[in-house]
Structure 1
Amino acid sequence: MISDPSFVEAHQSRSATTLLISFPDMRRPRGRRHLFSISDGEARQLSGFPHWNSSQSVNGLICIYEQLVRSSPKLSFRVIVCNPSTRERVTLPPTHFAFYHQNISLGFDPSTKTYKILRAWWGSYRGTMYEIFTLGSHAWRIIKDGPEFASETKGICLNGTIYWAAAFDLSEDDSNLVVMENRVIAFDVGEEKFRSVPVPPEAPIWDKYKSNIIQIGGHMAIADCQEVATSISTAMVVWKLEDSVNGVWSQKRILLPECWIHRPVPNPRFRRFFVASSDGDKIILIPSGFFRDFSVFQCNIEEGCLWREAIHRPPQDDWVSRSSIVISRQVCEYVESLVSLKEICRL
C-alpha cells in the first residue's frame, strides 16, 4: 500500500520541512560525517550513511558526495543518491572527469517524473565541465554550453528548474578596476539547457559566505545577510524571484535583534548564521556554532517576527565537538518521503 504512487504523493504533501545537518566524527580526523535530523526540538542521528557533502533535497532524496580523497582514491568523487527515510541508497557509476572540485545538484522533471543529477567539475588550470546522470540509466552524459563559472553553493530545484547564484568577475586584463556582476543561473532539467536570470542592479554582490539560496512558497529566493555579517545593521534582505523569465523580484527587509551583529564568529571566514527554507512563508536561521548553543530561530517573512526553538541533543553524541562550526554545505532542508529508489531504477 505504501508503495502506491498516490499514497507516496499524499504522504509527502503532509510532511513538514525539517533540517538535515552533518557534523564530523571528532574521533576520526578528516573522516566521515554524521547526519542529524533536526525536527520538533529534537536532534536525531540518522545512522548508516557515510556522509560528506550533500545536495539539497528533492522529494525526500539527496545526493551525498566527496571531493578528492588522497588517502582513499577509490572513494574520490563518489556520488550516492539516498533516501534517509527509507534508508535506500544507490551508488552512481564512475564519471568522465576527475578535477579538483565538484558540485552536485539534484533535479526533478515533473512532466516525466524523472530525477537527474547535474555535476559541475572545475580545477586550477581547466574550465568548468558539466555532466548529467538520469537516475535509472547506466552512464553520465556530457552537457555542453554551460556557464564558465560553477558556483560552490548549493542549487535548489523548483518546478523542474535548478537555480544557483554567483558573482562573476568582469574586469579586463588592462584595467585595475574589478567589476563584479550578479547572475542567477537556471538549468531546465527536462530540456537540459542553461539560461541566465536577470538580477536587480541594486541587489548586493553575491557572496557565498554571506548569502543563501532558499525557496519561499515555491519561489527561489536569496537571503542576503551581508549587513548583519559586517555589523553594519541588523537588517537581513530577502530577494524573492517572482518571475524567472522576465527577472521580476520582490524585496523584503527583516530586522533581527541587536545582539545578532555582536554575535561571536567561530572563524572570520564564516558567518554568524545560515538561512534555510521552511514551510510557507517561514525561514530558519541556524547559528554557525549550532551544537554549542543548541537552538535555531524561526522567522515569518511577512510578519517579520522571530522566535527561538531550543534543540535537545541526543545523549549518544559524545563524539561531537560542542564548538562544531556549521557551513552551508552541511545544511539541507528535507521533507520525509516514501519515494522508492529501487522502483525508480527499475523503471
Structure 2
Amino acid sequence: MALPWTPLSAVNRYETVSRSYAMGFDPSTKKYVVIFILKNKENLNKECRIHALGAPSWRKIHELPIWGLSQRNICANGTIYWMDELAMNGRRGIQCFSVAGEKFEVLFGPEGVKSTGQLAQVRGCLAFLCLKDASSGMCDLWRMDRNKNKVWTKTTIQIKLWDSPPVMLEIKIIGSTKRGEILITVGSKWPPRGKLIVYDLETGKFRTTWITCPSHPKGKV
C-alpha cells in the first residue's frame, strides 16, 4: 500500500535529519497506523505524525518521545515498543506508544537485567529475551502480564544448540502461535548455520529444523 506524501514542517531542507517509522495495530478498533518521527541533526525529536491506513493524509500529533528511538520496534496488544540504550539503576529503558491514546510513555525492563536483550511479542504481550550462556543455550524470557501492568514474569529456556558453541551466536524470537509455542531463530556467522526452534511454553518441549534459503550456496543458513 502506497502511503501519502509526508510533510516535513519541523526542519528546512538544508538541515541534516533522521527519520524513524513504526507500524502499530489497535485490536479494539482494528485500525492499523504508521507513525513517523523526525529528528534534527542534534538527534532531538522535532516532529511526530501518524497515518491511519486508508486515510487521505498524515496528522501531526503533539506527543513526542522522551528520547531518540531506535529503528527496531515491535507492537503488542495495541502498543508499539522500542528498546532504548538508556539504562537507569541497572534497568533498560523501553519507550512505548499507545495506538488508541496516541501517547508516549517510558517503562523499564526487568530489574537487574542489564543486557540489551531483544524485545518480542509473545501471545499478544510484550516480551524480553536475554541470552545468559551461549555454551549451554540458556535464555531468560521475561513477559509483561497484561492484567498486572509493569509486572514481569520470567521463564528460563534451555535450548540445545550444537556440540561446540558457535562464534557470534544470535537468537531472535520471530513470533508465536495460537497453541502457545514461540518461534525462535538461532544462527551463527561462523560456522554459517542456523535453526528454527519451536518452543512450547506450557510443556517446556521444543523441536528444531534447519532454515533453508534458496539463495544461499549450500541451501542453508
Report the TM-score, using the length of structure 1 for normalisation.
Answer: 0.52
2:199 counterpart of 1:264: no
Aligned to 1:57: none
Distance in 2 of aligned mates of 1:126 and 1:312: 40
Aligned to 2:175: 277
How far the C-alpha of 1:249 sits from its partner, in A, is: 1.3
Report 1:1-347 matches (<5 A): 89-96=1-8, 100-122=17-39, 124-129=41-46, 130-168=48-86, 181-202=91-112, 204-207=113-116, 211-225=117-131, 227-228=132-133, 234-243=137-146, 246-257=149-160, 259=162, 262-265=165-168, 271-279=169-177, 280-289=180-189, 292-293=192-193, 295-314=195-214, 317=215
Tell me the secondary structure at the aligned position of residue 262 of structure 1.
coil
How far the C-alpha of 1:222 sits from its partner, in A, is: 0.7
How far the C-alpha of 1:286 sits from its partner, in A, is: 3.4
Assess, with a 3 A threshold, how the Cα gap between structure 1 residues 313 and 201 changes in structure 2: closer, same or farther. Answer: closer
Between stretches 271-280 and 188-197, larger displacement belongs to 271-280
Distance in 1 of aligned mates of 2:219 and 2:19: 28
Distance in 1 of aligned mates of 2:130 and 2:18: 25
> Identity over aligned residues, as a percent?
23
How far the C-alpha of 1:192 sits from its partner, in A, is: 0.6
Tell me the secondary structure at the aligned position of residue 2 of structure 2.
strand
Tell me the secondary structure at the aligned position of residue 125 of structure 1.
coil
Structure 2, gaps ≥5 residues long: none
Letter in 1 for 2:106: S
Q: Is the 8 A contact 2:97 2:103 kept in 1?
A: yes
Q: Is the 8 A contact 1:165 1:206 kept in 2?
A: no
Highest relative contact order (Cα 8 Å, sep 6+), 1 or 2? 1
Q: Is the 8 A contact 2:188 2:194 kept in 1?
A: no
Structure ranking higher in helix proportion: 1
Q: How many residues align?
A: 212
Assess, with a 3 A threshold, how the Cα gap between structure 1 residues 245 and 198 changes in structure 2: closer, same or farther. Answer: farther
How far the C-alpha of 1:219 sits from its partner, in A, is: 1.3
Letter in 2 for 1:276: I
How far the C-alpha of 1:245 sits from its partner, in A, is: 6.2
Q: Which deviations, in whole Å up to 9, do the C-alpha atoms of 1:98-119 show, x marking residues without a partner?
A: 8543332211223333221012
How far the C-alpha of 1:258 sits from its partner, in A, is: 6.4
Q: Which deviations, in whole Å up to 9, do the C-alpha atoms of 1:22-78 show, x marking residues without a partner?
A: xxxxxxxxxxxxxxxxxxxxxxxxxxxxxxxxxxxxxxxxxxxxxxxxxxxxxxxxx
Distance in 1 of aligned mates of 2:6 and 2:98: 24
Report the TM-score, using the length of structure 2 for normalisation.
Answer: 0.77
Q: Is the 8 A contact 1:286 1:295 kept in 2?
A: yes
Structure 1, gaps ≥5 residues long: 1-88, 171-178, 266-270, 326-347
Tell me the secondary structure at the aligned position of residue 145 of structure 2.
strand
Letter in 2 for 1:109: D
Assess, with a 3 A threshold, how the Cα gap between structure 1 residues 166 and 146 changes in structure 2: closer, same or farther. Answer: same
How far the C-alpha of 1:91 sits from its partner, in A, is: 3.5
Assess, with a 3 A threshold, how the Cα gap between structure 1 residues 127 and 169 changes in structure 2: closer, same or farther. Answer: farther
Q: Is the 8 A contact 1:219 1:242 kept in 2?
A: yes
Distance in 1 of aligned mates of 2:127 and 2:163: 22
Structure ranking higher in strand proportion: 2
Letter in 2 for 1:140: W
Letter in 1 for 2:72: K
